[in-house]
Amino acid sequence: MAATGAPTKITQGSQTKGGIGESTLRPDGTLKVTGEFAYSSDMWHEDMLWGQILRSTVAHAEIVSIDTGEALAMAGVYAVMTYEDLPTEVRNYGLEIQDTPVLAHGKVRHHGEPVAIVAADHPETARRAAAKIKVEYRELPVITDEASATAPDAILVHEGRDDHHIGHVPHPNIVHRQPIVRGDADAAAARADVIVKGEYYFGMQDQAFLGPESGLAVPSEDGGVELYVATQWLHSDLKQIAPVLGLPEDKVRMTLSGVGGAFGGREDLSMQIHACLLAMRTGKPVKIVYNRFESFFGHVHRHPARLFYEHGATKDGKLTHLKCRIVLDGGAYASASPAVVGNASSLAVGPYVIDDVDIEAIALYSNNPPCGAMRGFGAVQACFAYEAQMDKVAKELGMDPVEFRRINAMEQGTIMPTGQPVDSPAPVAELLRRVKAMPMPPERQWESSEGSDVRQLPGGLSNTTHGEGVVRGIGYAVGIKNVGFSEGFDDYSTAKVRMEVIGGEPVATVHTAMAEVGQGGVTVHAQIARTELGVTQVTIAPADTQVGSAGSTSASRQTYVTGGAVKNACELVREKVLEIGRRKFGSYHPAWATAELLLEGGKVVTDGGEVLGDLVDVLEGEAVEVEEEWRHRPTEPFDLRTGQGNGHVQYSFAAHRAVVEVDTELGLVKVVELACAQDVGKALNPLSVIGQIQGGTTQGLGIAIMEEIVVDPKTAKVRNPSFTDYLLPTILDTPTIPVDVLELADDHAPYGLRGIGEAPTLSSTPAVLAAIRNATGLALDRTPVRPEHLTGTA
């Protein structure tokens, strides 16, 4: 292994209690366990109205007419708005491409698209009014896959595209295309002893955060609006909302409410503009809360994908080449599709060394539900396919699948297919070694002296087996995910840090716009402030748009980027504090001028440990405040023909071993254990790190065996928009998840840390699939795998 565990330089604060590296507890924990934490759906205002959205009942149609008369005439109804009522010429929004209508204009492009909005004095009144809006549709044929999207006579999902991708895509129903070509895959294929092809399908996953889309818009006296909402990125929302409302950004004041999970599903707007429009129209506060049914239509999903892979290998187990084509279905609107294409193509090779590659990824426009960001996007779909391929090639060669991976594992110094060198630890082989070395769970763990405990068997409480037909399988997988926003995006964050004396104690206040969505950023920010400023008391101010952008809580980036911004701002504050100290007390001790000074335990100390003074005295009568942007090192876009470019900031790696028991007769699966090993660079908060890994692992388990939004291929309508038929793993479906955390510092990152949130979601799914293949001997080329796929009854 090339990398070693070089200690990270921490010159400050290693003595301060509650600093980085400790499992300090969440500052919002008490509020969350007492029910007092205010989520976006908990907002309440005197005299508030309820907003309701009318959504299309068909996937693709021209809107012939909309009649709102009857709805408007209802008692208790304050406003009904359609496209015609939008206040400015800006009537679309979107993360990268502004192709999404605030309200449908002339056409609907997917099932559940917002067509009209209503404000009324009770949610039931609003629902009844929405039901009275008459919309006449003239249905159009639906585009649901690559063939129908690129057929010669295909209807264009978006006419007259003028976005910056249209110039390089082969068809207007393709959002973006990214090839990655390096070496000569054909020539390399000629050297291969075995060539293994596979075609895989990855189903549409839902983020299924538990807190539904919701928020409260309150009109303000200056003609602006205050918006309390759950989002992943306040400033990105703001940039999309303000122009539609015709307001300058400073008149749309956004405050982050409690966020009930996100996982990418809150990167796009949902009810934000609608609530503001209704509030401004009625002059009253408007609350919108989606129910679970609506939530399935109210946010983008994980891209379903078809993946065509060809690997070659020599007899001694060296991969020769990769040819691969990844077709992602972006649905009706672009959302994050271009970035998903970038990730899928640039990470299609996986954490392996392959010099000769020919990769292409595209995202379609279709009439399926819009797809965008979800934990690990692009990389998740690719990992499912390349890990299935690794097992297949290993089998073809008669090699142990873990040994085969080890032989081909990338390491620090490996050149990616994009030409980018991997310039920090990449302990792929070590993670596999560790996860394989973990003790195995006991066999037949359901048996006890009292008989079979069905809760520990496939089928669980449903009492389908007492051990009959049950076969154990074991599978391994490892994945690679980029951290942060890539491809030349100006990815920065802003932190405002203030230090002052309150109540006789030095107190730091950290203010960022970072969306705390449950990941624990607020915990970590306080730890960083303690470490850097040597204080115990840290206040985390609510996230809002009164401070600069923090960027998105996504792409495993917040601890890196906003954590980095907090660290940076703290360092600047520290310098100022020391300046004050020198000014006030420099004459009392020569060390003020000569030594390297630290803030520790509420005191100014020399690096030799000598105490020079109390922070309380230094800060007496003074407050120090710094607001500063911070950037990670820049990235480059990928070349549009070759895919070459230093596109990524950092990579993150995790490996899983899955142990499953399959009832081979009924096709039911019990995941017994999902062990994970992950390199986190530096665990700023070990408890939170493990929580992230276990949570990400479980979302990967979900997509492996139960989670899928099912879209009718004939109508492009969603068939299971509810928690009755879109199944999330329960506590009885979730195994023990032992975690082995490796800390190999990345010297480019604050404290050497590595973004952690997404990597475990990648390898969990293919590990479970590999284990099921191991138990059943079946090929299994799609996920989720359902009982009918395991019993030949599909």
Q: Which is nearer to another protein, 188 or 672 (CB)?
A: 672
Radius of gyration of the chain (CA): 27
Buried b (16+ CB within 10 A) or exposed e, 242-253: bbbbebeeeebb
Rounded least distance, CB 223 to another protein, Å: 20
Q: Which is nearer to another protein, 2 or 732 (CB)?
A: 732
Q: Which is nearer to another protein, 98 or 791 (CB)?
A: 791
Rounded least distance, CB 652 to another protein, Å: 18
Rounded least distance, CB 262 to another protein, Å: 8
Q: Which of 595, 594, 599 is nearest to 576 (CA)?
A: 599
Rounded least distance, CB 511 to another protein, Å: 10
Instruction: Output the CA angle 25-678-415, nearest 5 degrees.
Output: 135
Q: Which is nearer to another protein, 229 or 626 (CB)?
A: 229
Rounded least distance, CB 111 to another protein, Å: 14
CA–CA distances in Å: residue 97 to residues 19, 485, 671: 41, 16, 40
Q: Which is nearer to another protein, 312 or 506 (CB)?
A: 506
Angle, to 10 degrees, between the axis of helix 401-408 and the axis of helix 379-397?
A: 110
Q: Which is nearer to another protein, 97 or 528 (CB)?
A: 528
Rounded least distance, CB 728 to another protein, Å: 5
Q: Which is nearer to another protein, 663 or 743 (CB)?
A: 663
Give the three-class secondary structure for 457: coil
Distance CA 534, CA 528 (A): 10
Distance CA 418, CA 508 (A): 43
Q: Which is nearer to another protein, 11 or 793 (CB)?
A: 793
Structure tokens of 540?
Answer: 């985390």
Distance CA 79, CA 765 (A): 46
Q: Which is nearer to another protein, 38 or 623 (CB)?
A: 38
Task: Please report which residue ranges of 401-550 form alpha helices under DSSP H.
Answer: 401-408, 428-437, 521-533
Bridge partners, residue 174, by sequence = 364
Assess contact for 289 and 51: CB atoms under 8 A: no
CA–CA distances in Å: residue 49 to residues 122, 188, 257, 510: 7, 65, 18, 34
Distance CA 613, CA 599 (A): 10
Rounded least distance, CB 636 to another protein, Å: 34
Rounded least distance, CB 183 to another protein, Å: 40
Distance CA 257, CA 736 (A): 32
Rounded least distance, CB 778 to another protein, Å: 15
Q: Which is nearer to another protein, 15 or 314 (CB)?
A: 15
Q: Which is nearer to another protein, 466 or 603 (CB)?
A: 466
> Which helix or strand (DSSP H or E) is residue 275 part of?
helix 272-282
Residues 6+ apart with CB under 8 A from 721: 112, 292, 293, 296, 297, 709
Buried b (16+ CB within 10 A) or exposed e, 458-484: bbbeeebbeeeebbbbbbbbbbbbbbb
Rounded least distance, CB 516 to another protein, Å: 9
Rounded least distance, CB 665 to another protein, Å: 5
